[in-house]
């Protein structure tokens, strides 16, 4: 058989291979998904080998936004590392701030006043809500629906206003300090938060009507990318991707920190582990976040918002700590080893999108390329937290 | 010809049209097609600048996903050494006339990641592509990005465009009471 | 929370060189196990048989040697087992990527950042750093290569 040229201006094929059957020649080609996408996911590159519209094999290539956070953690002081943790996961920045502070406070033995713990929980849950909202808009935009993307920004801007009032930033917060928080929340924040909760509950009904029952959305999400429970557990998935498979594993319930053991909330789980279940789990988690915020606002104690005795430039005693917390994407692990100086000896973060992405290669085999986009969107990946 | 001269020559148009150029600069500035090149955190603020509260569409900006159809590349986020060749490829794929806006501290100079122990990033987009406008911030507010786009429009038109909107007041002149705002849009 | 009797039983099953219970509230881990040589794969297999999942895999550079730290946990309830494996003189440790699929990527990352070789790993390419890098950034004796350093920090 003569070899025909397969050059196609849209596809950069770096390898073609031949499969000859019944006198016809078939070939598969390599397609580069990324690293430049429409800006929703970040710089992820997936090399897919395609046979027509189906993916034969896939390999994610990461490292395009590797900025060396771990090395920065080992060459600067504990407090100087603060800006880094918000930039690792910029959509869940307050949760990362919170987790980092809790980890270092555990290592150094710093007490946190009750009011500060409540404030941390409230702001983390607002962040979880705004992260899930953006995920919702971005995922639906990947599927082609532009309306929810525009609608969620309304809610996100309101949350940004509230958090901006208290923390000073819109996106990459550095709000928590060792021993508490940077600024107290005032009555304006509390009134605004309560008004927002009331408004959000009505908006959830609207989103449900707009999105959940939509025929096109269901066709593109139901049954797509179903992860078997055993595989999810073998890979060590966490977060909504795992909860959609039916495993009820949430660090907020299993290893509670802050005030999560004192408030009442449910962990939504799915059954099939497909994209639709991942969507439903996140949607219901948003409602649970509102519940947590409301309860925390009702029980907010008076008192100091920061422990003044906590040193600004920490030099904890030699030791190690391992701390796990729940970010909007799943379980984040922090491992800090101190050697007694003001600079950590070893700081290691394991972020949930890393684990969630590792199963993608196996999941994508045999899927249509359009379903691959749906699966990637439903995973809620933030690439800088994969690349640290 | 040095590489710098080659770079400049690749951006300059082959044929110059004198007065027509001045007339053409106005539509070029008023309808910038943006290659939204969101790398990291700044991408979210770029998205925010595009949607309902800040809305760059009023200034004629339309986002495109492919460099072949874009004339402005907004480098939003940190440039890692692994990503740098891709950025240069994308810039080369854009057709002249093209401009680059460096958004955020990372794209200007490496941002909060630039120090003497850093091995993985490129300290600023201007090390690899020619940059026209720098918008500082970490991340810059969406109004800041829009101000950067308006500054670029002035640069393109040579300041002919009497842009009244550049004088918009960030706070809008009224007290920021978001409780009222939430209730008003209920 | 896991009971102490279950922990005792787990320690006996692991049967490794040193197993001791650690204070979970202070360090975050229930059991701390130090293994040597083949003990690592045996311990990992025991834990896999009991339904543990790999939570974290990293290495610490102690200047004279490297130590690989593994964390395993149960989905049913917090029961964190930390396994420490000291790398030998050639900086090599056995791989567990055939038992735990997540270890495939984590060992690649550990290798490129700290230089620990995982014998038997099917695919020891670079994961995060550019394909042609030859340095290990998280080693304590790492010096930023001149071409990667910003111009203002060059020692001229």
> In this structure, what CATH number is given to the domain that contains residue C101?
3.30.460.80
Could you say which of C130, C135, C145 has the minimum Cβ distance to residue B82?
A: C130
- Inspect the interface and report whether the beta carbons of B186 and A199 lie closer than 8 Å: yes
Looking at residue A13, what is its pLDDT? 34
Element (DSSP H or E) covering residue B19: helix B19-30
Q: How many CB pairs under 8 A join A and B?
A: 121
Check residue A211 and report its DSSP letter. I
Residue-wise pLDDT tens digits, A32-91:
887 877 655 788 888 888 888 888 888 888 889 999 899 999 998 888 898 888 899 999
- Inspect the interface and report whether the beta carbons of B116 and C135 lie closer than 8 Å: no
Looking at residue A331, what is its pLDDT? 92
Q: How many domains does chain C have?
A: 1
Is residue C142 a part of any domain in this protein? no
Looking at residue A22, what is its pLDDT? 39
- Inspect the interface and report whether the beta carbons of B119 and C150 lie closer than 8 Å: no
Let me know: does A360 contact A44? Beta carbons within 8 Å.
Answer: no
The whole-angstrom distance between B91's CA and the closest CA on chain A is 12
Summary count for chain A: helices (H), strands (E): 15, 9
Tell me how far CA of residue B23 lies from CA of A202, A223, B139, B150, B160, in angstroms: 51, 55, 35, 18, 10
Q: Which residues of B touch A202 (CB under 8 A)?
A: 186
> Any idea which of B56-60, B161-165, C91-95, C138-142 has the lowest mean pLDDT?
B161-165
> Any idea which of B81-85, B151-155, B157-161, C62-66 has the lowest mean pLDDT?
B157-161
Angle at C22 between CA C20 and CA C28, to 5 degrees: 140
Q: Which residues of B touch A66 (CB under 8 A)?
A: 80, 82, 120
| Dihedral sign, Cα of residue B8, residue B10, residue B15, residue B20 | negative
Q: Predicted ipTM? A: 0.89
CA A313 to chain centre: 30
Query: Which region holds residue A274: left if phi is over 0, alpha if psi is between -120 and 50, else beta?
Result: beta
CA dist B145 and B129 (Å) reads 19
Let me know: does C53 contact C72? Beta carbons within 8 Å.
Answer: yes
Pick the residue from chain C with its C-alpha nearest to B81. C130
Q: Which two three-digit tokens encode residue B84?
A: 């740098």
Is residue C12 a part of any domain in this protein? yes
Residue C151 has pLDDT above 90, yes or no: no
CA dist A52 and A372 (Å) reads 14
Cβ contacts of residue A197 below 8 Å, gap of 6+?
Answer: A290, A293, A294
Whether the CB of B178 is below 8 Å from some CB of chain C: the reply is no
* Residue ranges of E strands in B116-173: 133-135
Angle at A246 between CA A240 and CA A247, to 5 degrees: 75
Q: Which domains are seen in chain B, by residue range?
A: 3-184 (3.40.50.12280)
Residue B143 has pLDDT above 80, yes or no: yes
Q: Which residues of B touch A32 (CB under 8 A)?
A: none
Q: Note down the domain range covering C72.
A: 4-127
Q: Which two three-digit tokens encode residue A63?
A: 């490292």
Could you say which of C28, C77, C101 has the minimum Cβ distance to residue A323?
A: C28
Let me know: does C83 contact C67? Beta carbons within 8 Å.
Answer: no
Q: Which residues of B touch C130 (CB under 8 A)?
A: 81-82
Let me know: does A13 contact A34? Beta carbons within 8 Å.
Answer: no
Looking at residue B177, what is its pLDDT? 60
Pick the residue from chain B with its C-alpha nearest to A200. B186
Cβ contacts of residue A12 below 8 Å, gap of 6+?
Answer: A30, A32
Pick the residue from chain A with its C-alpha nearest to B113. A67
Element (DSSP H or E) covering residue B170: none
Question: In whole numbers, what is the pLDDT of chain B averaged over residues?
Answer: 80
- Inspect the interface and report whether the beta carbons of B178 and A192 lie closer than 8 Å: yes
CA dist A351 and A384 (Å) reads 10
Q: Which two three-digit tokens encode residue A136?
A: 């919702």
Choice between A118 and C87, residue whose per-residue pLDDT is larger: A118
- Inspect the interface and report whether the beta carbons of A36 and B47 lie closer than 8 Å: no
DSSP SS3 for A124: helix
Pick the residue from chain C with its C-alpha nearest to B82. C130
Whether the CB of B166 is below 8 Å from some CB of chain C: the reply is no
Pick the residue from chain C with its C-alpha nearest to A230. C51
With tokens 């003001």, the residue in question is: A342
* Residue ranges of E strands in chain B: 33-38, 62-64, 72-76, 99-103, 133-135
Pick the residue from chain C with its C-alpha nearest to B122. C150
Could you say which of B110, B114, B119 has the minimum Cβ distance to residue C148?
A: B119
Which residue in C131, C145, C150 has the most chain B C-beta atoms within 10 A of its own C-beta, making it the best mutation to test that interface?
A: C150
Of 3.40.50.300, 1.10.645.10, 3.30.930.10, 3.40.30.10, which CATH number belongs to A69-387? 1.10.645.10
Whether the CB of B16 is below 8 Å from some CB of chain C: the reply is no
Looking at residue C155, what is its pLDDT? 61
Tell me how far CA of residue C126 lies from CA of A346, C108, C109, C143, in angstroms: 21, 6, 7, 19
Sheet containing B133-135: order of strands: B62-64, B33-38, B72-76, B99-103, B133-135
**Of B100, B107, B92, B173, nearest in space to B137 by CA:** B107
Question: In whole numbers, what is the pLDDT of chain C averaged over residues?
Answer: 82
Angle at C119 between CA C114 and CA C125, to 5 degrees: 60
Looking at residue A366, what is its pLDDT? 85
How many C-alpha atoms does A38 have within 13 Å on its Cβ side?
A: 13
Q: Which two three-digit tokens encode residue B54?
A: 């800040």
Check residue A92 and report its DSSP letter. T
Adjacent-strand bridge partners of A46: A33, A60
Is residue C133 a part of any domain in this protein? no
Q: Which residues of B touch C153 (CB under 8 A)?
A: 116
Which residue in B65, B179, B180, B183 has the most chain A C-beta atoms within 10 A of its own C-beta, making it the best mutation to test that interface?
A: B179
Choice between C133 and A283, residue whose per-residue pLDDT is larger: A283
Let me know: does B9 contact B1? Beta carbons within 8 Å.
Answer: yes
Q: Which residues of A touch C102 (CB under 8 A)?
A: 235-236, 355, 358
Could you say which of B82, B114, B117 has the minimum Cβ distance to residue C144?
A: B117
Residue-wise pLDDT tens digits, A163-184:
999 998 888 888 999 988 998 9
Is residue C154 a part of any domain in this protein? no
Residue B110 has pLDDT above 70, yes or no: yes
The whole-angstrom distance between A364's CA and the closest CA on chain B is 24
CA dist A171 and B145 (Å) reads 15
pTM attached to this predicted model: 0.87
Q: Which residues of A195-206 are buried (b: 16+ CB within 10 A; e: fewer)?
A: bbbebbeebbee
Let me know: does A244 contact A281? Beta carbons within 8 Å.
Answer: yes
Looking at residue A345, what is its pLDDT? 92
Instruction: Give me the average pLDDT of each 10-residue run along chain A (388 residues).
Output: 33 36 59 73 85 86 90 89 89 92 90 92 93 92 89 91 90 90 90 92 91 90 89 90 91 89 90 91 93 92 87 86 92 92 92 90 86 89 88
- Inspect the interface and report whether the beta carbons of B81 and C148 lie closer than 8 Å: yes
Whether the CB of C135 is below 8 Å from some CB of chain B: the reply is yes
- Inspect the interface and report whether the beta carbons of C148 and B117 lie closer than 8 Å: no
Q: Which residues of A touch C77 (CB under 8 A)?
A: 254
Let me know: does B42 contact B76? Beta carbons within 8 Å.
Answer: yes
Looking at residue A3, what is its pLDDT? 33
- Inspect the interface and report whether the beta carbons of A87 and B112 lie closer than 8 Å: yes
Q: Which residues of A289-301 are buried (b: 16+ CB within 10 A; e: fewer)?
A: bbebbbbbbeebe
């Amino acid at each position: 058989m003569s070899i025909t040229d397969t050059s196609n201006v849209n596809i950069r094929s770096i390898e073609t291979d031949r499969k000859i059957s019944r006198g016809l020649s078939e070939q598969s080609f390599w397609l580069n998904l990324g690293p430049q996408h429409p800006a929703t996911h970040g710089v992820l590159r997936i090399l897919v080998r395609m046979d027509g519209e189906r993916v034969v094999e896939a390999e994610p290539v990461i490292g395009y936004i590797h900025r060396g956070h771990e090395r920065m953690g080992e060459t600067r002081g504990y407090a100087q590392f603060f800006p880094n943790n918000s930039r690792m996961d910029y959509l869940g920045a307050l949760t990362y701030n919170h987790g980092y502070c809790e980890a270092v406070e555990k290592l150094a033995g710093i007490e946190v006043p009750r009011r500060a713990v409540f404030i941390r929980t409230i702001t983390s849950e607002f962040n979880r809500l705004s992260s899930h909202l953006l995920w919702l808009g971005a995922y639906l935009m990947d599927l082609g629906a532009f309306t929810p993307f525009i609608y969620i920004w309304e809610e996100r801007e309101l949350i940004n206003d509230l958090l901006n009032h208290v923390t000073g930033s819109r996106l990459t917060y550095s709000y928590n300090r060792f021993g508490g928080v940077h600024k107290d929340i005032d009555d304006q924040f509390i009134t605004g938060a309560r008004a927002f909760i009331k408004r959000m509950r009505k908006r959830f009904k609207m989103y449900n009507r707009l999105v959940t029952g939509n025929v096109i959305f269901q066709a593109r999400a139901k049954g797509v990318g179903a992860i078997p429970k055993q595989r999810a557990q073998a890979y060590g998935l966490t977060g909504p991707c795992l909860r959609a498979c039916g495993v009820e594993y949430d660090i907020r319930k299993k290893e509670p920190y802050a005030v999560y053991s004192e408030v009442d909330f449910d962990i939504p789980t799915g059954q099939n582990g497909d994209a639709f279940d991942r969507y439903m789990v996140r949607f219901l988690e948003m409602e649970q976040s509102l519940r947590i915020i409301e309860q925390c606002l009702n029980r907010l104690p008076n008192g100091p918002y920061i422990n003044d005795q906590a040193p600004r430039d920490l030099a904890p005693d030699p030791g190690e700590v391992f701390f796990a917390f729940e970010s909007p994407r799943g379980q984040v692990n922090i491992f800090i080893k101190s050697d007694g100086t003001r600079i950590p000896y070893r700081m290691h973060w394991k972020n949930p999108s890393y684990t969630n992405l590792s199963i993608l290669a196996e999941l994508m085999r045999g899927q249509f390329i359009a379903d691959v986009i749906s699966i990637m969107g439903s995973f809620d990946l933030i690439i800088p937290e994969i690349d640290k | 010809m040095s590489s710098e001269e080659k770079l400049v020559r690749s951006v300059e148009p082959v044929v110059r049209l004198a007065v027509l150029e001045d007339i053409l600069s106005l539509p070029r500035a008023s309808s910038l097609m943006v290659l939204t090149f969101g790398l990291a955190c700044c991408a979210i603020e770029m998205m925010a600048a595009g949607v309902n509260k800040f809305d760059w569409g009023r200034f004629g900006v339309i986002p495109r996903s492919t460099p072949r159809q874009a004339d402005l590349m907004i480098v939003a986020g940190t440039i890692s050494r692994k990503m740098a060749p891709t950025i240069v490829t994308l810039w080369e794929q854009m057709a002249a006339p093209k401009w680059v806006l460096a958004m955020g501290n990372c794209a200007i100079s490496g941002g909060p990641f630039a120090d003497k122990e850093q091995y993985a990033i490129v300290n600023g987009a201007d090390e690899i592509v020619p940059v026209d406008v720098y918008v500082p911030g970490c991340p810059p507010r969406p109004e800041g990005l829009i101000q950067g786009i308006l500054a670029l429009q002035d640069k393109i038109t040579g300041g002919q465009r009497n842009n009244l909107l550049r004088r918009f007041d960030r706070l809008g002149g009224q007290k920021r009471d978001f409780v009222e705002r939430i209730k008003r849009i209920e | 929370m896991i009971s102490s009797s279950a922990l005792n039983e787990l320690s006996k099953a692991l049967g490794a060189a040193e197993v001791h219970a650690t204070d979970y509230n202070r360090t975050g881990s229930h059991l701390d196990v130090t293994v040597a040589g083949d003990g690592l794969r045996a311990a990992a297999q025991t834990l896999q048989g009991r339904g543990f999942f790999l939570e974290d895999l990293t290495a610490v550079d102690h200047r004279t040697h490297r130590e690989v730290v593994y964390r395993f946990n149960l989905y049913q309830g917090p029961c964190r087992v930390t396994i420490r494996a000291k790398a030998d003189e050639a900086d090599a440790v056995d791989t567990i990527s055939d038992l735990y699929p997540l270890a495939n990527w984590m060992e690649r990352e550990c290798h490129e950042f700290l230089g620990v070789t995982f014998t038997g790993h099917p695919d020891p390419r670079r994961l995060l750093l550019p394909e042609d890098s030859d340095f290990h950034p998280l080693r304590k004796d790492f010096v930023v290569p001149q071409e990667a350093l910003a111009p203002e920090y060059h020692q001229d």
